[in-house]
């Protein structure tokens, strides 16, 4: 295929980006899932609380364990996210993440603490715990974000080990994709995706983290919303936090997580704020939201939570009041 045409097919305004394991578009569904609880009926002001995108009960269990053993909300989200980064079966986070179209697994991640400090890495190769490298950027450098080779160099100098993140399963999936090299929408296929996590400790201190291998078969060099403070994640300890999953380009265009936190500051509940942020995407003139998915989760300082997405089958995992469970998100596109 001629390069120009290839790039055009890959554009975000066309049929939608393919995401083997992700939720960029909306034609397929995971049928028969048992996730009966709807968030609207569920939100309560109880601390501590941990929420995360998708079905990641092991990750939220780890995060809650950290809080209950007296760890900070920052430790909680970092260690919670690391569970998924190390899980090779998850093909959109850390080791085992699906590669870009040229076979590179590149990770994006960020982290933000209760004092408004933050760190991020983009286009990080060969280091599985991107969230921990992001934390090191926050704590050990005068910068907020490191990219590519520089991020890897910093990680190695900080003691992280390099390893090949492309597993056999992801390599096989990529090889199959290469046969046609076409973007084909698949949504919610694993019910398990980019992890965005928010934790509030018993004193109401909020931290968050977000980590991903981004869109499968993305263009080499592409960076999504997940490491962008304000887009994929935002925390303000006076208010709460929010994080995103889905087609990052649409999240970046509306600075979704910052928007949700600011709406909560103005008095909206986490649920109302998530719904408004999805509204900002779908109500843009000419926006064909049928071709992509975005999901948001949010928590306020009191421990109330919310989640909302464009399409069905987005979910949030919540650990609160002794219960760790997956919650079905309400969604915009009911037709
Ligand atoms: C990105 N938001 O890179 C990420 C991908 C994602 O579920 O969340 N997939 O755009």
Instruction: For the beta carbon of residue 203, count every other beta carbon within 10 angstroms.
Output: 10
Res. 240: pLDDT tops 70:
yes
Which CATH number do you get for residue 216? Answer: 3.60.20.30
* CB of 193 shorter than 6 A to ligand 1: yes
Question: Of 155, 170, 149, which Cα lies nearest the Cα of 97?
Answer: 170
pLDDT at 58 over 70: yes
Ligand 1 centroid from CA 294, angstroms? 9
CA 213 to centroid of ligand 1, rounded, Å = 8
Residue 8: inside a domain, yes or no?
no
Query: How many residues are given for the chain?
Result: 335
Q: What digits encode the pLDDT tens for the residues 10-49?
A: 333 333 343 333 444 433 344 444 444 555 556 899 999 9
CA–CA distance, 166 with 174 (Å, rounded to integer):
10
3-state secondary structure of 299: strand
Q: Is residue 13 part of a domain?
A: no
Which domain, by its residues, includes 315? Answer: 20-331
Structural tokens at position 143: 């910068």
On average, the pLDDT of the chain sits at: 87
DSSP state of 217: T
Domain count within the chain: 1
Kindly state the average pLDDT of the residues 205-209.
Answer: 98
pLDDT tier at 97, thresholds 50, 70, 90: confident
- Within a domain: residue 11? no
User: Candidates 106, 225, 310: which one to mutate for ligand 1, based on the most atoms within 8 Å of Cβ?
Assistant: 225
- Distance (Å) from CA 5 to ligand 1 centroid: 24
Q: Is residue 134 within 8 Å of 109, Cβ to Cβ?
A: yes
Is 284 a member of any domain? yes
Check whether 105 has a pLDDT greater than 50.
yes
Residues 6+ apart with CB under 8 A from 89: 96
Residue 211's nearest CA partner among 130, 281, 270 is 130
194 is catalytic: yes
Residue 194 covered by a domain: yes
Q: Does residue 247 belong to any structural domain of this protein? A: yes
Strand partners for 297: 243, 307
Q: What pLDDT digit, counting tens, does each position of 115-145 carry?
A: 999 999 999 999 999 999 999 999 999 999 9
Helices marked H in the chain: 3-9, 57-68, 73-86, 130-140, 148-157, 168-180, 248-254, 256-265, 270-282
Tell me what pLDDT residue 291 has. Answer: 83
Q: How far is the CA of 117 from the centre of ligand 1 (A)?
A: 23
Say if 7 falls within a structural domain.
no
Q: Model pTM?
A: 0.89
Residue 230 contacts by C-beta under 8 Å, 6 or more apart in sequence?
255, 257, 258
Q: Does 70 have pLDDT greater than 90?
A: yes
Q: How confident is the model at residue 53 (pLDDT cuts 50, 70, 90)?
A: very high
Query: 6 lies in a domain?
Result: no
Contacts of 68 (CB under 8 A, 6+ apart): 48
pLDDT of residue 26: 39
Give the tens place of pLDDT for each residue, 1-10. Answer: 333 333 333 3
| For ligand 1, atom 5: residue with the closest CA | 214
Provide the pLDDT for residue 20: 34
Ligand 1 and 243: CB distance under 6 A = no
Q: Is the CB of 98 within 6 Å of ligand 1?
A: no
Q: Which residue has the higher pLDDT, 256 or 194?
A: 256
pLDDT at 40: 58
Catalytic residue among 24, 60, 106, 194: 194
């Amino acid at each position: 295929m001629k390069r120009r045409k290839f790039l055009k097919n890959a554009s975000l305004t066309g049929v939608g980006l393919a995401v083997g394991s992700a939720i960029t578009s909306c034609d397929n569904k995971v049928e028969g899932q048992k996730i009966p609880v709807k968030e609207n009926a569920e939100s309560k002001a109880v601390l501590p609380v941990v929420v995360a995108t998708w079905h990641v009960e092991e990750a939220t269990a780890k995060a809650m364990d950290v809080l209950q053993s007296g760890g900070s909300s920052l430790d909680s989200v970092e260690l919670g996210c690391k569970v998924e980064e190390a899980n090779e079966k998850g093909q959109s986070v850390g080791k085992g993440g699906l590669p870009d179209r040229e076979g590179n697994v590149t990770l994006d991640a960020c982290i933000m603490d209760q004092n408004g400090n933050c760190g991020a890495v983009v286009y990080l190769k060969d280091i599985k715990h991107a969230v921990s490298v992001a934390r090191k950027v926050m704590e050990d450098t005068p910068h907020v974000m490191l990219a590519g080779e520089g991020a890897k160099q910093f990680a190695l100098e900080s003691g992280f080990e390099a390893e090949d993140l492309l597993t056999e399963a992801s390599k096989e999936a990529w090889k199959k994709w290469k046969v046609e090299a076409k973007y084909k929408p698949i949504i919610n296929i694993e019910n398990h995706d980019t992890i965005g996590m928010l934790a509030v400790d018993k004193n109401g201190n909020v931290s968050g983290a977000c980590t991903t291998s981004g869109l499968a078969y993305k263009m080499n060099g592409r960076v999504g919303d997940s490491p962008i403070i304000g887009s994929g994640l935002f925390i303000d300890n006076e208010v709460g936090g929010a994080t995103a999953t889905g087609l990052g380009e649409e999240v970046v265009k509306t600075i979704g997580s910052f928007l949700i936190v600011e709406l909560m500051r103005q008095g909206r509940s986490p649920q109302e704020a998530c719904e408004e942020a999805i509204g900002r995407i779908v109500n843009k003139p000419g926006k064909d939201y049928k071709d992509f998915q975005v999901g948001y989760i949010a928590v306020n300082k009191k421990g109330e939570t919310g989640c909302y997405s464009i399409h069905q089958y987005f979910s949030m995992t919540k650990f609160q009041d002794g219960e760790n469970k997956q919650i079905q998100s309400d969604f915009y596109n009911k037709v």
